[in-house]
Structure 1
Amino acid sequence: MYSTLVMAPKKKSSRVRWARLNPDLLRIISKKLCDISSFICFRAVCKRWRAATSLSDPPRQFPCVIDWPKGKGKLDDTLRVYSISSRRTHTFQVPDAHFHGPSDGYVLLYERYRSAKERQSFFNPFAWKEWLFLLDVPVDIVEPIRLGRNLIRNDGPALLYKDDEHYFLCFWQSEKNDWTEIRVPSIKTVALYDHKFFFAEWGHLHQRVGVIDETTGVLLSYFPPPIDNFYHGYLIATDDGLLAVEVIKSIAVIPYLLIDLEKCQFLVYRLENYPQNPHWTKLSGIGDLMLFLDQQNGFSLKASDFGGFKGNCIYFITAGKKWAKPGSENVIARFDIESNKTKRIPAPAWLGLRQWERQASWFIPTLN
């Protein structure tokens, strides 16, 4: 008697053919990549993945922290960018260069060893793109600033410098494909909102906010700041209006000293009824907004544009309890406006390991 051998049916392969994913699905996945290096690797997988995405339309990037060392007699040609979203550090070597601070997706760098005259330029480390900036002034009087403009639209960097007794705001205008320079009063903080530059002056004799037209450079008006002493304040442009943020200086001074991180607090105001009767309204919350503060600048983003991040918060960088001195600790923190509490954010060990006058800054990567 013979037994019958029954063959089991072959199971279909469960392997996913990743190279054949629908382009629309690939595009949705790519938009969730908040680390620019992950997006670059995503496009390098195969031709189909690369064709589904575009360098001109990268995913929105959550701000990183940028820092660089400085040693005596040595070039500070190592640039480090720390991604909060992925907790990864990206290191860039730019030979024969000194870094002087970021402006949106660019970093101002200069060379002074190849020739007697300094060569200044703005550099995008992720796109490896350099914009030569011809400015016949010492780099020591130049301060890169962030205007919070649309990086996707390829709006370029900006800076502020003082020549003799005058201040100048210099920024790239993509419409003109050229640099524009506007003479301005002394500035503590500046924001570009509704095609106007709003700035707070340094002056000790008067505290006031001024307005300059972006196109003509004409000074339009002055009005009072939200509080009498706005010395440690920031002006920040948002989709919902112009905000003013003040650090309560009896508790914390950004970025130089933080007495007690747990007690750090901020006051937030919104400008109302400009230009007829400009005044400030104190806010109890900022909804979906996230504000980012560092030594010189402030800007805003919407939490709903980034998965896993909470709105109604203020992210900031400051020095720790050791006081701002060589080797002092730098702190990344988030202040929750609703709970009125501050929480530290994990930071790499190298953050802050450089001269005290060099402060880490927020940096939004871009491929433009």
Structure 2
Amino acid sequence: MDGSLKEEQILMSSERDWTDLPPNLIHLISQKLPDLRYFIRCGAVCKRWFSSILLSDPPPQQLPWLIEYDEQFPRASPLKEELPFYSFVTGETGSIPIQESHRGKVYHRTGHSYLLVIDGEVISLFNPLTNEEISLPQLPSRFDFIWPVFGGADPSRNWPWHISLVCDVGRSRYLTYYLDRMRWQCFDTVLHKTCNWDGMLFTTEDHGTSTLVFDAASRKELYTIPPLNEETFGFITSYFVESCGELLRVSLDYNLTRNIETYIFLIYKLNFEGGKGQPHWVKVSNIRDQIIFLDHLTGFAVRATAGLKGNCIYFFIEEHCRSDRFYNDSTLWRYDIATGTCEPVPCPFNRCSWFVPNLR
């Protein structure tokens, strides 16, 4: 028998019909996929795989995508036929089809796995991947710009969530509405960085000011955490981030006259001394396998997966932070906490926000 023919017969005999894989094996494969796009493609292989994918749980919490904003509507964008996104894990762009009933509605930023959608007087959370929509109580007034702020790394697992809405009423004044028993409670403050955590409302301004802590139910002031005594470049932008059940204050220290690569982050952990002492911030230098993702007003942390390095921070360079002298057209940057260095991350969008893909 000819050698090449024999090799071809051996190869053909070793081939198998991949549609016959057992459902439990397909489930194991789906749980190892690094990006939700692969999970969706896995179900598109054949009818058997599609049925197995439907019966299996979606993969664990994903690393976020970047959602593009319409350049003409930077503060609140109308939903169109498709919502562009970019996965910096795979380096691929794509788009999420938007059902016709939601086209034309206005969304104000993203909050984890949801868009905050406003249609007239109706306000809701909308997951464009599953078309799930959760109605929220009506706000007492209309605002030009609203930021949704969620508590926890995966708010979709808990309801009612720790959700707050920071509303810009102009002249550097903000109203914070937080959800309590399906009713909005209003907190009138000029402090626009806020976090609803463990039954308490934390608020602060930038530039290293004090942190005010209130009881979320009674709105009574509980503590004033002193400002952070750090030598800085000149400007501080702060964020509250929950990581592994702990509350962090993450501050970006920058100066417009310096190169972006010299920007540094100062990270502090809330310490209550066992609940018996005055709360204060304690500086930390390592967040281990966690990755922090910062947006305009909010941030969240997830465990490093898909081969990405932990102990780092992904953040956007906002327009007010950009220096014509040093800015190199990169929107997304990564800060290595161990080395204290910044490097640009490829990103095809100029205006974008984090979105955590979720099929749950």
TM-score by length of 1: 0.76
Alignment of 1:13-162 (within 5 A): 13-45=13-45, 46-48=47-49, 50-51=51-52, 54=55, 57-71=58-72, 76-78=78-80, 79-92=83-96, 93=98, 94-111=102-119, 117-133=120-136, 134-155=138-159, 158-161=164-167
Seen in structure 2, the aligned counterparts of structure 1 residues 227 and 360 have a Cα distance that, compared at 3 Å, is farther
Give the 3-state SS of the residue equivalent to 1:19 in structure 2. helix
Answer yes or no: is the 8 Å Cα contact 2:148–2:164 preserved in 1. Answer: yes
The aligned amino acid for 2:187 is V
Seen in structure 2, the aligned counterparts of structure 1 residues 288 and 107 have a Cα distance that, compared at 3 Å, is same
Give the 3-state SS of the residue equivalent to 2:139 in structure 1. coil
Answer yes or no: is the 8 Å Cα contact 1:103–1:144 preserved in 2. Answer: yes
Matches of 2:255 and 2:66, distance apart in 1? 26
Matches of 2:206 and 2:312, distance apart in 1? 30
1:126-154, Cα deviation, whole Å (9 max, x unpaired)? 11222333224213153222323434515
* 2:263 alignment counterpart: 264
1:73-94, Cα deviation, whole Å (9 max, x unpaired)? x974343221111222232445
Answer yes or no: is the 8 Å Cα contact 1:27–1:53 preserved in 2. Answer: no
1:249 aligns with 2:254: yes
Matches of 1:80 and 1:160, distance apart in 2? 25
Seen in structure 2, the aligned counterparts of structure 1 residues 60 and 153 have a Cα distance that, compared at 3 Å, is same
Q: CA deviation at 1:247?
A: 0.9
* 2:202 alignment counterpart: 199
* Larger proportion of helix: 2
Give the 3-state SS of the residue equivalent to 1:71 in structure 2. coil
Seen in structure 2, the aligned counterparts of structure 1 residues 31 and 141 have a Cα distance that, compared at 3 Å, is same
* 2:299 alignment counterpart: 298
Gaps of 5+ in 1: 1-6, 112-116, 253-258, 353-358
* 2:213 alignment counterpart: 211
* 1:256 alignment counterpart: none
Matches of 2:262 and 2:206, distance apart in 1? 29
Matches of 2:132 and 2:174, distance apart in 1? 31
Give the 3-state SS of the residue equivalent to 1:26 in structure 2. helix
Q: CA deviation at 1:336?
A: 0.7
Number of positions where the alignment pairs a residue of Structure 1 with one of Structure 2: 330
Q: CA deviation at 1:319?
A: 4.1
Matches of 1:217 and 1:295, distance apart in 2? 25
Seen in structure 2, the aligned counterparts of structure 1 residues 56 and 28 have a Cα distance that, compared at 3 Å, is closer
Give the 3-state SS of the residue equivalent to 1:285 in structure 2. coil
RMSD: 3.6
The aligned amino acid for 1:222 is T
- Provide the identity percentage: 27
Matches of 2:221 and 2:295, distance apart in 1? 27
Matches of 1:57 and 1:282, distance apart in 2? 37
* 2:187 alignment counterpart: 184
Matches of 2:223 and 2:194, distance apart in 1? 15
Answer yes or no: is the 8 Å Cα contact 1:190–1:235 preserved in 2. Answer: yes
Answer yes or no: is the 8 Å Cα contact 1:24–1:52 preserved in 2. Answer: no
Matches of 1:333 and 1:168, distance apart in 2? 29
Seen in structure 2, the aligned counterparts of structure 1 residues 189 and 149 have a Cα distance that, compared at 3 Å, is same
The aligned amino acid for 2:48 is K
Give the 3-state SS of the residue equivalent to 2:15 in structure 1. coil
Seen in structure 2, the aligned counterparts of structure 1 residues 136 and 279 have a Cα distance that, compared at 3 Å, is closer
Answer yes or no: is the 8 Å Cα contact 2:212–2:221 preserved in 1. Answer: yes
Answer yes or no: is the 8 Å Cα contact 2:77–2:108 preserved in 1. Answer: no
Answer yes or no: is the 8 Å Cα contact 1:197–1:214 preserved in 2. Answer: yes
Give the 3-state SS of the residue equivalent to 2:317 in structure 1. strand
Answer yes or no: is the 8 Å Cα contact 2:206–2:236 preserved in 1. Answer: no
The aligned amino acid for 1:23 is P
1:235 aligns with 2:237: no
The aligned amino acid for 1:347 is C
Matches of 2:333 and 2:206, distance apart in 1? 30
Answer yes or no: is the 8 Å Cα contact 2:166–2:192 preserved in 1. Answer: no
* 2:223 alignment counterpart: 221
Give the 3-state SS of the residue equivalent to 1:59 in structure 2. coil
Q: CA deviation at 1:62?
A: 0.5
Matches of 1:197 and 1:38, distance apart in 2? 39
1:170-209, Cα deviation, whole Å (9 max, x unpaired)? 34x7xx6xx342333523323344x2334233399x9322
Answer yes or no: is the 8 Å Cα contact 1:245–1:268 preserved in 2. Answer: yes
The aligned amino acid for 1:289 is Q
Q: CA deviation at 1:311?
A: 0.8
The aligned amino acid for 1:125 is P
* 1:344 alignment counterpart: 344
* 2:353 alignment counterpart: 361
Q: CA deviation at 1:227?
A: 3.9
* 2:313 alignment counterpart: 314
1:42-68, Cα deviation, whole Å (9 max, x unpaired)? 234333553355575433210111122
